[in-house]
């Protein structure tokens, strides 16, 4: 499917300006999706993923979550680059992320004529997708190795807020992930279950953190090949259900 891509700038409610990468099908979109970045910014991997969703018929937007501390920041995956990325992540707040979510969501709904909108995110973006499910009326949310949903060294997590989740959630985890250990994965599942929320939790036992990114040493081709059609099926099912409702 032919697509069009561009960077846009959106005004946020706190007075800041947020750059975002947009990919859209040339035909009318079937739904919208917000794509939330890893700590490395809207780099080539996130742009590629955003374009993949557009090729599936979704109007996709990847908002720049570090626009307050590092506008235009993008990086690769070396140790030096990761150090700077972690500094930016440390300056991101839930209040700021909530404002960014609302801005991106409102733009998508206006651009699609109020079609159902979903969210997906990777690493810190997986946490942001979960936060989005608490913030705006999503068709569904999808989190790939979402660090910081359970408590982490970087923040207290979202476990006590899982009762605020408003949409079905799909979680992907890597069994070899040393950042998000099995006890933290269990905390998320138990938190969602005790809150009575609809969710699915998928673990790839031989996959590490960042397994979906084909630019990282932790890329796992098998896990990625299985996770992608599962992701598309979840999106298709829940956006259609939301449209019918």
**pLDDT tens digits, 175-189:** 999 999 999 999 999
Q: Which CATH number covers residue 89?
A: 3.40.50.1820
Q: What is the pLDDT confidence band of residue 78, given thresholds at 50, 70 and 90?
A: confident
Helix spans in the chain (H): 44-55, 79-91, 94-112, 124-135, 182-194, 221-244
- Total domains present in the chain: 1
Q: What is the pLDDT confidence band of residue 81, given thresholds at 50, 70 and 90?
A: confident
d(CA 123, CA 2): 29
Res 203 pLDDT > 90: yes
**pLDDT tens digits, 118-161:** 999 999 999 999 999 999 999 999 999 999 999 988 888 999 99
d(CA 224, CA 90): 28
Give the model's pLDDT for residue 202. Answer: 98
Catalytic positions = 123, 177, 209
Q: Quick check: pTM over 0.75? A: yes
> Which pair of structure tokens corresponds to residue 221?
């081709």
Task: Provide the percentage of residues in the chain whose pLDDT is more than 90.
Answer: 95
Q: What is the pLDDT confidence band of residue 210, given thresholds at 50, 70 and 90?
A: very high
Structural domain boundaries enclosing 14? 3-244
Task: Tell me the CA distances in angstroms from 133 to 32, 118, 163, 198, one per residue in order.
Answer: 14, 9, 11, 12
**pLDDT tens digits, 17-73:** 999 999 999 999 999 999 999 999 999 999 999 999 999 999 999 999 999 999 999
d(CA 82, CA 164): 32
Strand partners, 35: 120
> Which pair of structure tokens corresponds to residue 53?
């969703």
Give the model's pLDDT for residue 153. Answer: 85
Give the model's pLDDT for residue 42. Answer: 98
d(CA 43, CA 116): 26
């Amino acid at each position: 499917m032919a697509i069009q891509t561009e960077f846009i700038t959106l005004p946020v409610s706190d007075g800041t300006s947020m750059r975002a990468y947009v990919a859209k099908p040339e035909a009318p979109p079937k739904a919208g999706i917000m794509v939330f970045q890893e700590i490395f910014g809207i780099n080539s991997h996130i742009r590629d993923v955003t374009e993949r969703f557009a090729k599936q018929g979704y109007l996709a937007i990847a908002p720049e979550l570090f626009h307050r501390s590092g506008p235009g920041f993008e990086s690769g995956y070396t140790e030096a680059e990761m150090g700077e990325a972690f500094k930016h992540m440390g300056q991101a707040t839930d209040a700021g992320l909530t404002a960014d979510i609302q801005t991106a969501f409102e733009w998508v709904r206006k651009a699609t004529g109020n079609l159902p909108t979903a969210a997906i995110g990777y690493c810190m973006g997986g946490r942001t997708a979960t936060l989005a499910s608490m913030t705006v009326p999503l068709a569904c949310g999808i989190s790939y190795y979402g660090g910081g949903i359970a408590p982490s060294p970087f923040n207290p997590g979202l476990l006590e807020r899982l009762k605020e989740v408003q949409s079905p959630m799909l979680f992907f985890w890597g069994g070899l992930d040393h950042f998000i250990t099995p006890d933290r994965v269990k905390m998320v599942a138990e938190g969602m279950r005790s809150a009575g929320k609809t969710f699915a939790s998928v673990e790839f036992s031989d996959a590490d953190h960042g397994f979906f990114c084909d630019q990282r040493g932790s890329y796992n081709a098998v896990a990625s090949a299985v996770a992608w059609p599962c992701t598309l099926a979840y999106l298709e099912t829940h956006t259609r259900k939301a449209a019918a409702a």
